[in-house]
Amino acid sequence: MLATRLFDIGDIRTAEVAKPRPGPGDVLIRVEACGICGTDRHLLHGTFPSKPPLTLGHEFSGIVVGVGDGVTLAEGTRVTCDPNTWCGQCENCLRGRVNLCSNNVATGLGRDGGFAEFCAFPAHKAHVLPNDLDPLHGAFCEPLACTLHGIDMGAPKAGERVMILGGGVIGMLALQLCVQAGAEVMMVTRQASKQALAQSLGAAMTAKTEAAAQTVWPMGADLVVECAGVVETVEMAPRLTRDGGRVVILGVLGKGETVRIEPFDLLFREVQFLSSFINPFTQGRAAAMIAAGRIKLDPLISRTLPLAEAAEAIVKPARAGEIRAIVLPGG
């Protein structure tokens, strides 16, 4: 079968590999759709931990075509993969912080993932989706699960003002969750197409720059959610937060990048500065929301591409205005 593999830092290629076999407790799926995440580009450049050589892809769904010993999940079932498999025995797991597991093995980062025709992974990490669900929608479960964790931490309340920094897929998902919570939401993004999309998804207003956002809400937002994963937006987030407000960092900066933050400002205004990492216990919620049609996903699909083009798409920066590109390994 074909798979898009990271052979070493800076070396990604689509190559012929052996079709995986499900081991005991595993499920084998025929991958229908796998989203290209910014983390995949970090993996390529060595700014996010990985264990090459391996097949990338951690945002995917597909159809069960085989099971290992002890698995009762029926063949033909559509599932989405929760890529993170924690050990349950380390100190962090035992205190309930499973997303900080010292021994976490992530599908698409620590073992072969979904940029392939077939993928095997632990069956207990497969979340069932409706058989009539659009296959492309299943690829959004993992990013929605990560976003849910961050929004849980930020805890927007009805009537509060929330500012979303960054108009990528995480920003657009965070926007929808905050609107559903009853918050008044502003999207801050430079691209006009993303501003228009944000308004169609429920943003009360948009702004292009920090200065423009401050003009509209001079006292700042109750909650600022950083979703762009760049130094500029992380540094501006506290400045856009009102006294006593909260900042949640959802975007991923590469390992080694640093930002300038003024601790006195956080102290004097009692601004909470929080960071959110992956998806502890939220994948099932995400799958249920997507299955119920509670999240608008079609507007977030910028393009689809075959597996043969996945490596090139990861090597290149995301296209201007792109929200999510999805690889179709079988198409």
> Catalytic residue positions?
39, 42
Cβ neighbours of 318 (radius 10 Å): 17
Phi-psi region of 159 (alpha: psi -120 to 50; beta: other; left: phi over 0): left
Return the biggest CA–CA distance within the chain. 61
SS (H, E, C) the chain: CEEEEEEECCEEEEEECCCCCCCCCEEEEEEEEEECCHHHHHHHHCCCCCCCCEECCCCEEEEEEEECCCCCCCCCCEEEECCEECCCCCHHHHCCCHHHCCCCEEECCCECCCCECEEEEEHHHEEEECCCCCHHHHCCHHHHHHHHHHHHHHCCCCCCEEEEECCCHHHHHHHHHHHHCCCEEEEECCCHHHHHHHHHCCCCEEECCHHHHHHHCCCCEEEEEECCCCHHHHHHCHHHEEEEEEEEECCCCCCCCCCCCCHHHHHHCCCEEEECCCCCCCHHHHHHHHHCCCCCCHHHEEEEEEHHHHHHHHHCCCCCCCCEEEEECCC
Q: Which amino acid is at 131?
A: N
Tokens of 35: 């989203």
Tokens of 206: 């948009």
Among candidates 44, 49, 99, which has minimal Cα distance to 275? 99
Tokens of 137: 């929608």
